[in-house]
Structure 1
Amino acid sequence: MSANVFIDIQIASDSSSLPSEEDFQLWAEAAVGTHRDEAEISLRIVDTEEGAELNQQWRQKQGPTNVLSFPSDLPAELELPLLGDLVVCAPVVEREAGEQKKSLQAHWAHMIVHGTLHLLGYDHIDDNEAEEMEALETNVVKSLGFPDPYAETV
């Protein structure tokens, strides 16, 4: 059974190589998978300046990062499908894809899957959590027809 995912997409980037809304939808649905019947996600695609500001404000780290996840903090008894917000920095995703010798589409898919899994409560702070999250990411990304995002490229 696949999840019914509603994504509110905001484009605040000048990038000319963004995936389609349908791609974002497909990738988020694949990540939500069997975790929930329905989910709502706000996705904001940003450029370097906004990405750096948000990374500094929320993680106290300088410079932009690829994806920031902001899980909703709603009481469980409300039973609302809101998962939270994702912010993806397009220039960082584009640069990383080139550095890692991955297709841009595959790296975008990985970033949406990665961020969505964070919204679902997965993390990679310790080794066991990282192993579990990476295995799940790999399965989801491969189910979408992309290569293992953690495989070494030659």
Structure 2
Amino acid sequence: MTLDLDLQLACEGQAPAPESFQRWAECALTGRREQAELSVRLVDETESAALNQQYRDKSGPTNVLSFPTDFPAELELPLLGDLVICVPVVEREAQQQQKPLEAHWAHMVIHGTLHLLGYDHIDDNDALVMESLETQLLTGLGYNDPYQPTDEE
């Protein structure tokens, strides 16, 4: 699996090392894609809320937005798409859910990357497939199941 990842830090806040983003995205792509180009933009709540309103017609910031490329399949380009991750929302959710911050970052990158690959959670069956895959990938990286409550602080 060859991944060309462009990481953009567009806000204040503590973000994991670029190597972590690379590892997490590669984990989601391995066995599903031979080659990919991916942009990950880390934003504040204002930018996240504006994008969420514009593209999903939902108000307020959200943890991760996925923007898959929309090229005809016959072009066979490695461009996968863009992830926009809201740093303050990820930090707040990790604290509220009592999850290690790094584990929640890993979950958001894997979750968003799977969306770029076409996975979704709109209906219950699709959600079960996607959540099972996320759990498998995250536990394979040494993190806890993101859908189970944890006592960690």
When normalised by structure 1's length, the TM-score is: 0.96
CA RMSD of aligned residues (A): 0.7
Mapping for residues 72-151 of structure 1, pairs under 5 Å: 72-151=69-148
1:43 to 33, 40, 44: 40
Taking only the aligned residue pairs, the percentage that are identical comes to: 62
SS of equivalent residue, structure 1 residue 26:
helix
In structure 1, stretches of 5+ residues that fail to align are none
Q: Deviations over 1:84-126 (max 9, x none)?
A: 0100000000000000000000000000000000000000000
Count of residues paired in the alignment: 151
Q: Deviations over 1:105-149 (max 9, x none)?
A: 000000000000000000000000000000000011111111000
When normalised by structure 2's length, the TM-score is: 0.97
Aligned partner of 1:56: which letter? Q
Deviation at 1:153, TM superposition (A): 2.4
Aligned partner of 1:120: which letter? L
Quick check: 144-153 or 97-106, which moved more?
144-153
CA distance in 2 between counterparts of 1:39 and 1:151 reads 31
In structure 2, stretches of 5+ residues that fail to align are none
CA distance in 1 between counterparts of 2:2 and 2:138 reads 18
